[in-house]
Every structure is written in C-alpha cells, then in structure tokens.
Structure 1
C-alpha cells in the first residue's frame, strides 16, 4: 500500500485533540438534547452504554491500526485487507457517505447556535450558516493536515474549559432559578422503556463516531499505531465523562419532558432558566467553536477515506489527486463538502444523524470481524485488544442490536444503497473482463 505523502508528524495530545474535536462537537453541543427528548433521564444510560461500546471499538481499532499503520481509510482499509475488494468497496463507500453526512449534521448545529446568538428565527438561517461553515473549513483542510490539527487542538482546549463553566453554571442557575428538582429527571410515558433508550443510543452513537478521524492519520502520529491507539482511547473516555456531566447539567435546568429534537440544546436550556447574557454568549461561543472543529475533523476524515478507496484502485484516479506539500487530497475535500451541503436538506438533526450512523454501524461490525480474521491468521501488531475475544463478541452483538433498532426508513435507505453498490461493483468487474466467469460453488 502506498504511503501517505507528507512529512507532518503530530503528537499524541494533538491526535487526541483531533478525536475530541470530532467527538465532542458532534455530541454534547448538538445531540445531547435529542437524546433526552427521546429517552428522558435514561439518556444518561444511553451515553454510558454507547461510550463503553465506543471504547471497545476504539481498542480494536488500535490493534487494527498497529497491524496496518499506513492505512488511511479506517474501517475501509481494515475490511479491504481482511476480506478483499468486494466487501471493501461496499464498506468503503458506506463509511465515506457516513462521514460526509456527518459533516451536515454537525454544521447544522453550528448554524443553529449562530442563529440563536444573532436572534434570527426560521429554518433557513441555520442551513445558510452551515453552508458557509462547510465552505470555509474546506479551504482550511486544503491548507493541510498539520495546520488543521493544530487549529483543532487549540479549539478543543477552549471548548473543554467552556463546557466546565457550563456545568458549574448549570448547578448554580438551577439552584437560584428554582428549577433544581429531582422531578426534572422523570420523563414522560413515551420516554420510558427499552425502545426509547435504544432510539437514544442510536442517535448517541453518532456522537462518538469522531474517534475514527485519528485512525485515518495513524502514520502521522508520533509513536505510530501505539500512539494513535492511546489517542483514540483517551478521546473516547474524556468525551464520555463530559457527555454524562452535560446531560446531568441539562436536566438540572430543564425537565426531561420539555426537551425536543433540536440542534442547539445548550442554548435552549440556558434560555429556559433565563441565564445571564454573558453565560449565554460564552456557551454559545463554545458551541460554535466545538461544532466548527468537529466539522473540520469530519471533512479531514472523509477526504482521507475516499482517497484510500481510490488508492486501492476501487474508484477513479480523480480522487487520488493530492497536494504533496500540504498532505491533503484536494478532490476528496471538495466532494465531501458538496455532499455535506446536499445532505443539509435531507431532514432534521435526528434523521441526518441516523443516516450517518447506518454506515458507521456496518463498518464497525465488519471491522470487528476483520480483527477476528487477522487473529485467526496470526497477524498481530504492536498493540493488542485486551480480553480478546470476549469484548469483540460483545461489540458484535451490541452493534447488531443497534442496527436492527434503527428507524425503518433509515434501514430501507441503507439496504437499497448496499444493493446498488453490490450491483455497481459486479457491473464494473464484469465489464472489464473479456469473458464471463462461471464459478462452481458446490461440487
């Protein structure tokens, strides 16, 4: 496999910041309110449950990354090397589409918070601001990975500080406004039971997806696969802690039954308790930085995935165009931006996140199977998954449950996409052949 061009080397803390930038912006500032709207106080369990699964997948990615340290395509590269081009092609396109769709969801959160700050009402303003953000950050990505990563680490430090201020302020505001009541944690009847928790978990899964951004830059991380593995696990664990604290803080201020599906839940909660304008502006500024850095990371990740698919000759050479000096696949960035803009018009934040999740869940499932494949063939790297194969089996079962629990329309879209990709793959394969191949499956 061809090495990634460029010489930029980033430290483990900076790589962790890349993962945090993608994870935190996608979840805390955008989907935390949606999770509460779906499952009430049980959203806490959803974040913990999915966080545990994300840690399991993260350590598995650490091992897979150590086996293939030069891979840039995350789950695609693992699938391609384990199971060949057919399944690799399908998983690669699904994964790429998931990341490109994630750009829309996170950018929509940015647009919603900016509209809130500017006191602009209406559905068009968030979309307009989201399009502007995608355009600007595409240019930042084209500048190059090292500068993008450094910008991300700076933004992450600021937004973690702002989140800490939000959590402390939430306790004080809830106390002085009189909303501090344990009844806030009692949701409505529709928020009770197993199915709402499953629905919230599916939404939340999107919130943790950003850690794959680290696996696409493994060879750029100091320490290689081991360094990338540490960065992946650190980013997931730190994110889970902040997720739980923010969910708790939100329900201290607002009853669980009052939350609705929206892309700016922290702003909604502060308005509900009539927070001082200074806190409102500070938190919204943090939300804008968080969603901007998460969008930046997703553009970076998606462009590298499609580059790797093309590098393995499964897509036209058009996508292999890169800038050697800046270490960036230019055409991949442009395509990701265009898809990100188009998906802004596909529905509300939950639908967009669910569409993105389908490809992620499938890719994680196949990646777990790829780890089993490599272990059976005695291929190991410098980092090994602890408690193998037990936690790998657990991840497979949990992923299957989440896939089957997805909204019906998302499953329909996903299955149609898989069928189209399968037909396209075989059409391209047979079109290149001089004669038809007839395989004998049974003797």
Structure 2
C-alpha cells in the first residue's frame, strides 16, 4: 500500500466537510436550473425525493464502510462482493470516471459563475479556461498533503454552508413566503423528464461516496465513516431544500430555466439587487473550489487502490514519485479534457448514468454476496436497486429523445471498460496482488 495513505490523518469533521464539499460544490449551483427545466414547478420536490433515494443508496455504503473501511473503499467493497473480476474493475472504474466527470462539472460551474462576475459570459472560451485553471489549483493543493486538504475542505465547507443558508433565509424573510411561484411548466415537462431530473438530483448527492474512498485515513473508521456519510447527507438535504425553496420563491420557473447554469445568482437579484448576485457568485466560487479539491483527493485515492489491487494497469510515463502523485496527474488531466469538450448538461447526464450503473453493482453485490456478512436488510437493498433502475431508465429514455449521442457515449464507455478489464485480468485473475511485480515506486 502506498505510504501516502496515513491512518488517522482525517478527522470526522474533515470527512464530513469532504462529503459536503463535493456535494454542495456543484450540486446546488450547477444543477438547480437544469432540474427546474426538466421538472418545472415541482423542482423543489426533486431534491426531496432525491434525498430519499440517496438515503436508501447510502445504506449499502454505510454497512460496507463499517465492515470494511479502507482507502479506495468502493473498490474494496466491490472486490468483497465479486472477487478479482472484470465486474469489480469495471464498476470501480465507472465510479472513478463518474467522479472525474463530476470534477469537470464543478470546474465548468466555477467558470460559469466567475465569468458572470467579470462580465465575460459572452466569450465562449472563458468558461473552460477558468475551469481548467481551478483544476490546476486543486492539483497543487492536493500535492501539499492530507492535512492541507482537510483544513481547506473544513474551512470552505463551513463558509459556504453558513453563507448559502444565510442567503436562503434572507430570501425567505424578504419574500415572506416559502411558496414557489405558480407558473405553467416549461414545454416538454413529462413524467420521464421528472425522472431525468431526479437522476440529476441523485447526482447532486453522490459526493458522500468520496468519504468511503478515504476510509482507512479517517479516525476510528469503523464508526466514523458511516457517521460522516450520514451527517454529510443530512446537511446537504437541509441546504438543498432551503435553497430550492428560496430560488422558487424569488423567481418564476421560466426565469430559473432561462438562467439555468447560474440560476442561484439570478435568484438573489430580485431581493438583494446586484450585491446579492455578487455575494452568491462569490459563494459559488468558494463552493466549487472546495468541492473540486475534495473530489480530486478522493478519486486519486480510489485509483491508487485499484492500482494496488492490480485491477488496472499503471505506467509512470517517466514521472518521479509515488502512485498517489501519478494518479493526481491522470485525474486532473482527464477532468481538464472533459471540461473543455462538454457543456454542463452533457457532463451531468454522463456522470449520472455512469454513477447509477456503478451504484446498482454495489447494491446487487451486497444483496447477492454480502448481505448476511454486513448485516444488511434485504428490503432496503431491493428498494435501493428499484430506485436506481427507475431513475436510470427515465434519464436514458429522455436522452434518447433529446441527445442520443450521450447515451451512446455512456454505453461505449461501459462496454469498452468491461472488455478491456476482461482481457487485462484474464492472466491475473487467480493471482494475489502481493505476488505480482508491478515496478511501482511506493516509497
């Protein structure tokens, strides 16, 4: 194991900040407008139902984390369920890819809000340039080590949660209402589009999984990993619902949809004028920055675990140093490419599809292979699987109608990863990772 994995280097507070940092980093700022476009005036309920679905989903992760806390936790969970197989490696990589996609979502959200602040929104190249700049900053902070990542995450998580909550309550006070504007639903809002909105809502909560990927680094992991997951979800549920209500009471649906990628900033304008808009943009910049730092930290640990488990190949490409550093480089490079190539809507849809497929693999693995070992309830597991299947089906049907290319890309990624892993693992399947010579520098 890479010596960069240091036991007891993350506190419970740091782990909670990591989870909330990733979730609030893009979930509420980037996805509110997209969810309103798909769900219409019922968009507030999307966050409520997504929280319920996330609660069922988190059940498996809490049970697994309490039983098997480790760095790169999801990869270890999958191996416990499916062994050293292509299914394990594929699901693990899908999780990693969905996290990297989320990083590009966060980066473009940062670019979108920052461009609004300086009046650069008319220049199409500015958003990806600013996003890539944030990715480079997150890379530099992660190179400084766990202690700085934890401090950065805790500090900014506190600032943004307090700031966003204060803004939402001030909006309620000024509007003197918690009731969203009653407006006709945007054209194209159907039960299928509502399910697709729910998929984006689930994506807004998926940041809790980053906590499992640092399990062995968290103080008292058998107890605190599960607690950190629960607390991070609870905090985000409260923030998301209050912010959604505040946005709905400030702007009619058509204006939320028109603003879309920067809906929260526009929602502050009617009540607080340009000052409120600027404050919201600054909060968005802080939120996305901390979210990206936390996400890069977690995904690099997960890829490191997959490498140590000999489930994916690795090359130094002439780089010095540890596996951890190499994985940071690969993570931010891929995130930067995605930030340049895809817009927010496509990034969100692709990330949601890959995440839901991986999530199904986790729940089915627990139900089929680990239920008794971890003490999980069959009914809750079946409900989690049902939620994922229905939501994934709704998103897929909608995208087949409106953007079939993204469904093709998701399908191609899943098939390519599975075929590659089947070929790569064939001569290694019956070997123990410790018996294989990798030539990696873990010093």
Task: Please state which band the TM-score falls in when normalised by the shorter chain.
Answer: 0.7 to 0.9
Q: Indicate how the Cα distance of structure 1 residues 366 and 8 shifts in structure 2: closer, same or farther if over 3 A, else same.
A: same
Residue in structure 2 matched with residue 127 of structure 1 by the alignment: 128
| Secondary structure of 2:261's aligned partner | coil
Residue in structure 1 matched with residue 409 of structure 2 by the alignment: 413
Cα drift, residue 246 of structure 1:
0.6
Cα drift, residue 374 of structure 1:
4.0
Cα drift, residue 318 of structure 1:
3.2
In the alignment, is residue 164 of structure 1 matched against residue 165 of structure 2? yes
Residue in structure 2 matched with residue 440 of structure 1 by the alignment: none
Q: 1:182-209 CA distances to partner (integer Å, 9 max, x unpaired)? A: 6723332536442221121112221111
Where structure 1 has 5 or more consecutive residues not aligned to the other structure, the ranges are 434-443
Cα drift, residue 158 of structure 1:
0.6
> Which residue of the other structure, out of 372, 397, 400, is the alignment partner of 2:389?
400
Q: Conserved in 1, the CA contact under 8 Å of 2:179 and 2:245?
A: no
Residue in structure 1 matched with residue 24 of structure 2 by the alignment: 24
Cα drift, residue 90 of structure 1:
1.0
Residue in structure 2 matched with residue 242 of structure 1 by the alignment: 239
What does 1:44-123 align with in structure 2 at a 5 Å threshold?
44-70=44-70, 72-84=71-83, 85-122=85-122, 123=124
TM-score where L is the length of structure 2: 0.88
| Secondary structure of 1:329's aligned partner | helix
> Which residue of the other structure, out of 418, 424, 439, is the alignment partner of 2:420?
424
Q: Conserved in 2, the CA contact under 8 Å of 1:37 and 1:258?
A: no
Q: 1:35-56 CA distances to partner (integer Å, 9 max, x unpaired)? A: 1122122112211111111122
Q: 1:313-354 CA distances to partner (integer Å, 9 max, x unpaired)? A: 122243799967xxx811111111111111123332121011
In the alignment, is residue 347 of structure 1 matched against residue 342 of structure 2? yes
Number of residue equivalences? 418
Q: Indicate how the Cα distance of structure 1 residues 322 and 8 shifts in structure 2: closer, same or farther if over 3 A, else same.
A: farther
What does 1:99-248 align with in structure 2 at a 5 Å threshold?
99-122=99-122, 123-174=124-175, 184-188=181-185, 190=187, 192-248=189-245
- For the aligned residue pairs, the C-alpha RMSD in angstroms reads 2.5
What is the CA–CA distance in structure 2 between the aligned matches of 1:205 and 1:240, rounded to whole Å?
Answer: 11
Q: 1:62-81 CA distances to partner (integer Å, 9 max, x unpaired)? A: 111122212x3343321222
What is the CA–CA distance in structure 2 between the aligned matches of 1:322 and 1:205, rounded to whole Å?
Answer: 38
Cα drift, residue 432 of structure 1:
7.8
Q: Conserved in 1, the CA contact under 8 Å of 2:7 and 2:216?
A: no
Cα drift, residue 4 of structure 1:
6.5
Cα drift, residue 258 of structure 1:
2.2
Cα drift, residue 292 of structure 1:
0.6
What is the CA–CA distance in structure 2 between the aligned matches of 1:293 and 1:191, rounded to whole Å?
Answer: 35
What is the CA–CA distance in structure 1 between the aligned matches of 2:428 and 2:210, rounded to whole Å?
Answer: 34
Q: Conserved in 2, the CA contact under 8 Å of 1:55 and 1:237?
A: no
Q: Conserved in 2, the CA contact under 8 Å of 1:299 and 1:337?
A: yes
Q: Conserved in 2, the CA contact under 8 Å of 1:31 and 1:207?
A: yes
